[in-house]
Amino acid sequence: MKFWEGEGEVMTDWQVAVIDESQTGGWFVLHCRQQFFCSAHGPLWRRDGRERQLEGVLSEQGIGYWQGEPVFVLELSEALAAPLPGGYWKGLRQFLVEGDRPAFRLLGYAAQIATWARQHRFCGGCGVALQPLAGQRAMACPACHVHFYPRLSPSIIVLVTRGDHLLLARSPRFANGMYSTLAGFVEPGESIEACVHREVAEEVAVRVENLRYVTSQSWPFPHSLMLGFHADYAGGEIVPQPEEIVDARWFALDQLPLLPPPGSISRYLIDLYLAHRQGHAEPPLPP
């Protein structure tokens, strides 16, 4: 199943929408804990009644239109070995690593909505089962009359530079040998800029200045919005934050370590700086 036609950056074949599950026809995707069940043609399955026979479906959400046809995401309670014949489970990150930009856009949105639906089946105040709010992407409590909307967690990610050197760090969760830019979640009551200064100070104990906003990326792992910055080094010695950073150091432009995969905002920030310093064309924006 091809997700994309042409070379443009605008996904004209995909339109986000709230669709009632009673609508017939179209496509569906199967999701469970950051994985999608795919056939040899991709993650889209024809909505022909088979979805009604599946076991362990927690929710069904109409998420938009693909080439004019409705698309639904079904959230499964567990990743069954073979919910449909002739398929296999594939992680959302793999679509990003493989550079499948249009699939990552569509499935990233589907994953966020499916995860939200899984986590908002009951009211957190009284425990009553929540009901879909007609015409909106929301769940409503019939007892408390509280509405629950999809969660979005803003976070910053920043490349700190000092001339021809980049400050990169390793998290214990990274692949062996990989270094990346610094990142962290925005705290309540905190501005984006204050978050950049705080996270850099916490993770590596240095000071930064001259913050420049670069770009953003939806990061559906599970529901972040990454706001990308570039900042100049202003002083201090690197001291990695215990338990969060296993190593951090300055890297010369021609001696960079293993980096995050193309398509991630972290890699974009790095590649963009390299392009500017070396006089090369700017890389494509992340999906």
Domain identity same for 107 and 173: no
Per the structure, how many domains does the chain have? 2
Determine if the pTM surpasses 0.85: yes
- The answer on 203 and 115 residing in a single domain is no
- 1 within domain boundaries: no
Partnered with residue 140 across adjacent β-strands are 131, 147
Give tens-digit pLDDT for 23-75: 999 999 999 999 999 999 999 999 999 999 999 999 999 999 988 999 999 99
Residue 218 sits in the same domain as residue 115: no
pLDDT of residue 9: 41
Main-chain dihedrals φ then ψ at residue 150, nearest 5 degrees: -55, 135
Residue range 131-153, pLDDT digits in tens = 999 999 999 999 999 999 999 99
Evaluate whether 109 touches 16 at the Cβ level (below 8 Å).
yes
What is the per-residue burial (b if ≥16 Cβ within 10 Å, else e) of 140-165?
A: bbeeeeeebebeeeebbbbbbbeeee
The CATH number given to whatever domain includes residue 89 is 3.90.79
Residues 24 and 96 in one domain: yes
Whether 7 shows a pLDDT value over 70: the answer reads: no
Domain that holds residue 159: 153-278
Question: Is 217 a member of any domain?
Answer: yes
User: Residue 60's beta-bridge partner residues?
Assistant: 74
Where does a domain end: 73, 100, 119? 119
